[in-house]
Homo-oligomer: A and B are copies of this chain.
Amino acid sequence: MKVLDEVKWNGDGLIPAIAQDFESLKVLTLAWMNKEALAATIKEGRVVYWSRSRKKLWRKGEESGFVQKIKEIRMDCDQDTVLLKVQQLGNVACHTGREVCFYKRYLDEQWIDSEPVLVDADVIYSSGSRVKD
């Protein structure tokens, strides 16, 4: 696909992908995509990342059910980052059971946990294998 060739993949064949809730506009997650992941995301209408730790495609929500459905895909001026506007099923994006991954807030020379855990991680990943990048 021509749109994939226009992306400037890094030396590892990856780009950062930012997921943003299309309604609340909260930034949910930053994860990574390779060409195959972006192609699958476009084709399937749900977010498919590349898991750097597991070295395989990661269909977000494949174990947790917390699928991210695509509403819009944008690329930046440098053509090396994508912004995904998504519908976050289950209202939980983070593997810790929080709404968003960006829950550590800088305050007075500390990172303070600033978002509640909505679902216990053991409940999310009852199969025992936690999915994270």
Contact = CB atoms under 8 A, between A and B. Distances in A.
B105 A72 contact: yes
A106 B3 contact: yes
Contacts of A132: 77-78
Contacts of A78: 101, 132-133
Given A3-B111, A27-B27, A111-B3, A94 B74 contact: no
Contact of A76 (B24, B30, B72): B30
Chain copies in the assembly?
A: 2
Interface residues of A, number: 40
Contacts of A109: 1-3
Contact of A102 (B75, B101, B111): B75
Interface in A30-75: 30, 42, 72-75
A2 to B, nearest CB: 7
